[in-house]
């Protein structure tokens, strides 16, 4: 029987992963550059961020996740898993009592001291902290190796293919000045270190605050007015009617053409497969703005 290319890739990956267990255990490098060695595939996993929970489910590891933090709400099956606190304050004793064979931590959000204690007790800790698009498939593959789940490779390839499609379709289009309003009181946006900035560039936009020294700049309205954005975006978590603040400035290009869009923040803020769903939504909104500004 002839195998299709995707089936062949999965078969090869499955054979390679199996060999790594029987001969020398499993070894991967996390987002902090640390090498994680485990003797057998992980089967009792704690996820210390909603994006980690989502990525574990994406590679078929849902049955092996025994503890999560609050707001781990996707997919819906994750709501049935015991919650051991939140990303900033989790119950270390509860984690130890669960006897995990792997803890997947958020390097950019979890406190370090309790994680160090877990490692001192011999519990492997993999740090996930995606900063750029390529970190997402990297994490999927690494977690797939730690749990010996060949489905991870297919999901990583799917992400890479979808990303390439969006890049071909949108990145070379007419540039738009984009203001992303992360919050309204205080007024906040993002710089180049945030994934949202990369999505803006993917869609053919320019973030005037990309070079700001702070990752989450706090701004005055005047700073935004000086950049004269052609489109203003925000998340659905921002209350309706948020655009009225900007409509008070009719000379603003975004106000003149009515270019205000609310996007699904979970898709944009979590570095998971769904990030590209959020990117697609942003790219479509920006294309609508192009059509209005320069028909």
Residue 15 in this model has a pLDDT that exceeds 50: no
Stretch 84-106: mean pLDDT: 96
Residues 6+ apart with CB under 8 A from 127: 30, 31, 32, 34, 105, 106, 107
Stretch 101-119: mean pLDDT: 96
DSSP per-residue letters across 158-169: HHHHHHHHHHHH
Statement: 5-160 belongs to CATH 3.40.50.150? no
Average pLDDT for the chain = 92
- Collapsing DSSP to helix, strand or coil, 102 comes out as strand
Residue 96 in this model has a pLDDT that exceeds 90: yes
Is residue 190 within 8 A of residue 218, CB to CB? The reply is no
Q: Note the pLDDT of residue 4.
A: 41
Residue 260 in this model has a pLDDT that exceeds 60: yes
HEC letters along 112-138: HHHHHHHHHCCCCEEEECCCCCCHHHH
Of 113, 77, 114, nearest to 95 by C-alpha is 114
Q: Note the pLDDT of residue 22.
A: 40
* Reported pTM: 0.89
Chain-centroid distance of CA 275 in Å reads: 6
Residue-range domain boundaries for the chain? 5-160, 171-293
Q: For residue 65, say if its preceding peptide bond is cis, omega within 30 degrees of 0.
A: no
Residue 186 in this model has a pLDDT that exceeds 50: yes
Quickly name the fold that domain 171-293 has: Rossmann fold (3.40.50)
Stretch 126-130: mean pLDDT: 96
| Predicted confidence band of residue 292 (pLDDT cuts 50, 70, 90) | confident
- Asked if the domains 5-160 and 171-293 are classified in one and the same CATH topology, the answer is yes
More confidently predicted of 71 and 11: 71
């Amino acid at each position: 029987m002839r195998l299709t290319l995707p089936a062949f890739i999965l078969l090869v990956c499955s054979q390679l992963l199996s060999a790594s267990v029987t001969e020398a255990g499993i070894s991967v490098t996390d987002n902090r550059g640390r090498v994680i060695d485990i003797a057998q595939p992980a089967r009792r996993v704690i996820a210390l961020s909603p994006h980690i929970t989502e990525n574990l489910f994406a590679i078929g590891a849902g049955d092996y996740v025994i503890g999560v933090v609050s707001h781990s709400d996707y997919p819906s099956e994750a709501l049935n898993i015991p919650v051991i606190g939140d990303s900033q304050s989790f119950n270390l004793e509860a984690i130890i009592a669960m006897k995990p064979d792997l803890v997947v931590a958020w390097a950019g959000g979890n406190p370090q001291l309790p994680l160090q204690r877990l490692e001192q007790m011999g519990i492997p800790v993999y740090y996930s902290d995606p900063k750029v698009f390529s970190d997402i498939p990297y994490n999927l593959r690494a977690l797939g190796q730690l749990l010996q789940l060949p489905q991870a490779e297919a999901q990583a390839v799917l992400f890479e293919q979808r990303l390439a499609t969006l890049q071909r379709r949108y990145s070379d289009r007419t540039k738009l000045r984009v203001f992303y309003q992360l919050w309204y009181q205080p007024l906040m946006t993002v710089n180049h270190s945030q994934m949202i900035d990369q999505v803006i560039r993917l869609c053919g936009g320019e973030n005037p605050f990309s070079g700001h020294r702070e990752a989450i700049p706090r701004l005055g309205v005047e700073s935004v007015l000086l950049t004269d954005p052609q489109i203003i975006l925000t998340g659905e978590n921002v209350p309706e009617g948020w655009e009225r603040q900007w409509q008070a400035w009719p000379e603003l290009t975004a106000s003149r053409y009515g270019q205000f869009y609310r996007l699904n923040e979970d898709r944009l803020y979590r570095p998971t497969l769904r990030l590209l769903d959020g990117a697609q939504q942003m790219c479509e909104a920006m294309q609508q703005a192009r059509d209005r500004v320069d028909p």
